[in-house]
């Protein structure tokens, strides 16, 4: 069994982390556009990718039937599927894999729910270690302003309503997210996450990301698929060079 | 009274083991050894003796049971995904079926427990220490009865009953040219994993190649000491 550690695949894995409203999704989308324009083969890996596991997760959430433990395990199951189908094959093929949220989301969320920190880290030992993990640091107040401005209602589990921190969903969300921020902050050193100040302008943040990624890519060949793998979905989804 | 503990130090968040008054009895063994027959007999006997019994088995959880069935029909999930899907299903059953019943003072009879799940995962390449760590949240049962048969007896039984099926033959592992070869290799490996757990997990090993009555006598004799309650004397069935 492959354990968490530096991988030997020809590809690279860049991931972004941060609370909702930190702007990480915007940043990784911009990074992907740029990498493609530079001639790299990129592959974007989404969080909830397996239809089968996704259905179970959705039903569990809709019925509010998830405990901290089953919430943790069903997301680990989904992550395993994502690793087996959407991360390892493109990395083997030499692609630059980009992931919006990674194992650190699970660590932050699960521990904020009372799951043992050491247990959940061991659970994810099968994960591939990212080349670089970016953490978009933002104050809770700023993130709340961005979120409450322009998106649909906060969801039950997102707000940590299962923890019964508060009857009020906005207040619960705030309390839960502040626990998550605490967990992220602890992980910056533990996992060597690259901190980006998410209070800066979008452009400033993107410049920093590109500098860091450029360094990590020194010596990486562009558009060269070294070892093609038999995976239909990937063949379709990797953009042509 | 013994009282429950978890395998790991931390266990399940939000569960106080001191509240669990019931008993947890596990029947383990590879496919086709007659686990469900003995669960049925044991349940009847326990109920006749005045115990409230909940019987439960793998892949029956409200949360993941259907999803697992669909996954097995489609064979689309990878090994690690399948392993963790089973652990999700197990956690759901533990928290939502077994623990509430134990809290209410039931005897919980479970057809398989974490041992089958670990054996399957290990045979499929999972690191033994890793998978054991995953199941740190599991309750330690009061009794684990391991119905053991050797591979020759197992083959005879399976042919007589259901025939070889895809998963029981470990066909996903491509161990043999056909289902028979694969079944023999897969079940031999599973048996080896079970045997490795006998000592550390304190299995009561019962030779399941004897006839049903004899096997059940042994099962009952194993369970009986657990039921020595002041107000309930067990009688012969």
Cα dihedral: A33, A36, A38, A40 (round 10)? 140
Amino acid A101: pLDDT? 93
- As beta bridge partners, residue B143 has B25
Q: What are phi and psi of B147, to 5 degrees?
A: -85, 110
With beta carbons less than 8 A apart as the criterion, state whether A212 and A132 touch: yes
Amino acid B233: pLDDT? 46
Q: What is the pLDDT of residues B31-49, one digit of tens each?
A: 778 888 999 999 999 999 9
With beta carbons less than 8 A apart as the criterion, state whether A86 and A237 touch: no
Question: Which candidate from A52, A69, A76 shows the least CB-CB separation from B77?
Answer: A52
| Bigger pLDDT: B163 vs B50 | B50
Q: Which structural domains are found in chain A, ordered by start?
A: 12-214 (3.40.50.300)
Classified by CATH at the fold level, domain B17-227 comes out as Rossmann fold (3.40.50)
Cα dihedral: B127, B140, A77, B174 (round 10)? 50
Alpha helix ranges (H) inside B64-197: 65-74, 79-93, 99-103, 114-123, 128-134, 151-160, 179-197
Contacts of A81 in chain B (CB under 8 A): 77-78, 81
Domain positions in chain B are 17-227
| Angstrom distance (rounded) from CA A109 to CA A125 | 17
B77 and A81 within 8 Å at the Cβ level: the answer is yes
B137 and A67 within 8 Å at the Cβ level: the answer is no
Would an 8 Å CB–CB cutoff place B99 in contact with chain A?
A: no
Would an 8 Å CB–CB cutoff place B95 in contact with chain A?
A: yes
| Angstrom distance (rounded) from CA B178 to CA B190 | 18
| Bigger pLDDT: B56 vs B52 | B52
Amino acid A1: pLDDT? 66
With beta carbons less than 8 A apart as the criterion, state whether B135 and A69 touch: no
Of B107, B96, B104, B98, residue with least CA distance to B53: B107
Q: How close A65 comes to chain B (CA, Å)?
A: 7
Question: Which candidate from B77, B88, B125 shows the least CB-CB separation from A74?
Answer: B88
Task: Give Cα separations from B37 to A30, B43, B50, B119, B160 (angstroms).
Answer: 60, 10, 20, 22, 15
Question: Best of B84, B120, B126 to disrupt the A interface by mutation (most A CBs within 10 Å)?
Answer: B84
Contacts of B62 in chain A (CB under 8 A): 65
Question: Which candidate from A3, A52, A65 shows the least CB-CB separation from B76?
Answer: A52
* Count of other CB atoms within 10 angstroms of residue B183: 26
With beta carbons less than 8 A apart as the criterion, state whether A128 and A7 touch: yes
* Count of other CB atoms within 10 angstroms of residue B8: 18
Residue A95 has what DSSP assignment?
-
Neighbouring C-alpha atoms within 13 Å toward the C-beta of B51: 31
Contacts of B95 in chain A (CB under 8 A): 67, 69-70
Amino acid B168: pLDDT? 81
| Angstrom distance (rounded) from CA A91 to CA A45 | 11
Q: Write out chain A's pLDDT in tens, 241 residues.
A: 666 666 788 999 999 999 988 999 999 999 999 999 999 999 998 665 577 788 888 888 888 889 999 999 999 999 998 898 889 999 999 999 999 999 999 999 999 999 999 999 999 999 999 999 999 999 999 988 888 776 667 889 888 999 999 999 889 999 999 999 999 999 999 999 999 999 999 999 999 999 999 999 987 777 554 444 444 445 444 444 3
Across chain B, what does the average pLDDT equal? Answer: 87
Question: Which candidate from A60, A68, A116 shows the least CB-CB separation from B63?
Answer: A60
Q: How close B195 comes to chain A (CA, Å)?
A: 22
Average pLDDT over residues B26-35: 88
Burial class (CB within 10 angstroms; exposed 0-12, middle 13-18, buried 19+) of B221:
exposed
For the ranges A220-229, B101-110, B188-197, the lowest mean pLDDT is seen at A220-229
Average pLDDT over residues B202-219: 94
Average pLDDT over residues B77-98: 91
Contacts of B71 in chain A (CB under 8 A): 52
The DSSP annotation for A3-70 comes to -SS----SSEEEEEE--TTS-HHHHHHHHHHHHHHTT--EEEE-SS--HHHHHHHHHHHHTT---HHH
The set of residues, in sequence order, having a beta carbon less than 8 Å from that of A215 and lying 6+ positions away, is none
| Angstrom distance (rounded) from CA B72 to CA B97 | 23
| Angstrom distance (rounded) from CA B145 to CA B204 | 5
Of A202, A189, A77, residue with least CA distance to A133: A189
Contacts of A73 in chain B (CB under 8 A): 84, 87-88, 91
The DSSP annotation for A173-209 comes to HHHHHHHHHHHHHHHHHHTTPEEEETTS-HHHHHHHH
Q: Which residue in chain A is spatially nearest to B76 when comparing CA positions?
A: A52
Q: How close B213 comes to chain A (CA, Å)?
A: 39
pLDDT for B65 beyond 70: yes
Q: Between residues 37 and 66 of chain B, which touch chain A (CB distance below 8 Å)?
A: 62-64, 66
Neighbouring C-alpha atoms within 13 Å toward the C-beta of A227: 8
Of B147, B130, B158, residue with least CA distance to B191: B147
A123 and B133 within 8 Å at the Cβ level: the answer is yes
Amino acid A77: pLDDT? 93
A84 and B12 within 8 Å at the Cβ level: the answer is no
Amino acid B235: pLDDT? 45
| pTM reported for the whole predicted model | 0.86
Axis crossing angle, helix B79-93 with helix B65-74, rounded to the nearest 10: 160
A81 and B125 within 8 Å at the Cβ level: the answer is no
Residue A229: helix, strand or coil by DSSP?
coil
Would an 8 Å CB–CB cutoff place B110 in contact with chain A?
A: no
Sign of CA dihedral A45, A236, A211, A203: negative
Contacts of B136 in chain A (CB under 8 A): 116, 119
């Amino acid at each position: 069994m492959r354990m968490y550690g530096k991988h030997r695949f020809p590809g690279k894995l860049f991931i972004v982390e941060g609370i909702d409203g930190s702007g990480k999704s915007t940043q990784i989308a911009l990074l992907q556009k740029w990498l493609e324009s530079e001639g790299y083969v990129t592959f974007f890996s989404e969080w909830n990718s397996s239809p089968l596991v996704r259905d179970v997760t959705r039903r569990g959430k809709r019925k509010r039937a998830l405990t901290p433990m089953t919430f943790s395990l069903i997301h680990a199951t989904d992550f395993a599927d994502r690793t087996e189908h959407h991360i390892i094959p493109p990395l083997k093929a030499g692609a630059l894999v980009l992931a919006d949220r990674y194992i650190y989301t699970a660590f932050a969320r699960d521990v904020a729910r009372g799951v043992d920190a050491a247990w959940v880290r061991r659970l994810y030992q099968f994960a591939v270690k990212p080349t670089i993990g970016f953490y978009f640091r933002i104050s809770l107040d700023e993130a709340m302003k961005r979120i409450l401005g322009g998106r649909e209602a906060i969801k039950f589990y997102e707000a940590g309503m299962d923890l019964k921190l508060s009857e009020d969903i906005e207040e619960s969300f705030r309390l839960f997210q502040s626990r998550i921020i605490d967990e992220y902050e602890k992980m910056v050193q533990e996992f060597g996450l690259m901190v980006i100040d998410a209070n800066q302008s979008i452009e400033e943040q993107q410049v920093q990301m590109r500098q860091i990624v450029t360094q990590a890519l020194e010596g990486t060949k562009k558009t060269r698929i070294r070892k093609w793998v038999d995976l239909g979905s990937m063949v379709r989804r990797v953009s042509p060079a | 009274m013994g009282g429950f503990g978890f395998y790991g130090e931390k266990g399940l968040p939000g569960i106080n083991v001191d509240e669990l008054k019931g008993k947890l009895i596990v029947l383990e063994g590879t496919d086709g050894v007659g686990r469900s027959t003995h669960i049925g007999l044991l349940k009847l006997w326990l109920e006749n003796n005045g115990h409230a019994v909940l019987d439960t088995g793998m892949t029956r959880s409200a949360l993941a049971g259907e999803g697992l069935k669909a996954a097995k029909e489609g064979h689309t999930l990878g090994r690690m995904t399948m392993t963790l899907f089973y652990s999700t299903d197990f956690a759901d059953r533990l928290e939502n079926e077994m623990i509430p019943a134990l809290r209410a003072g039931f005897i919980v009879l479970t057809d398989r427990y974490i041992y089958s799940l670990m054996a399957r995962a290990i045979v499929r390449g999972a690191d033994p220490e890793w998978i054991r760590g995953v199941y740190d949240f599991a309750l330690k049962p009061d009794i684990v009865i391991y119905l053991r048969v050797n591979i020759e007896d197992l083959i005879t039984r399976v042919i007589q009953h259901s025939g070889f099926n895809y998963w029981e033959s470990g066909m996903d592992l491509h161990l043999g040219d056909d289902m028979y070869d694969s079944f023999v290799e897969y079940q031999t490996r599973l048996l080896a994993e079970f045997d490795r757990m006998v000592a550390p997990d304190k299995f009561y090993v019962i030779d399941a190649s004897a006839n049903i009555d004899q096997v059940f006598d042994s099962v009952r004799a194993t369970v009986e000491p657990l039921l020595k309650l002041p107000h309930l004397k067990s009688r012969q069935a």
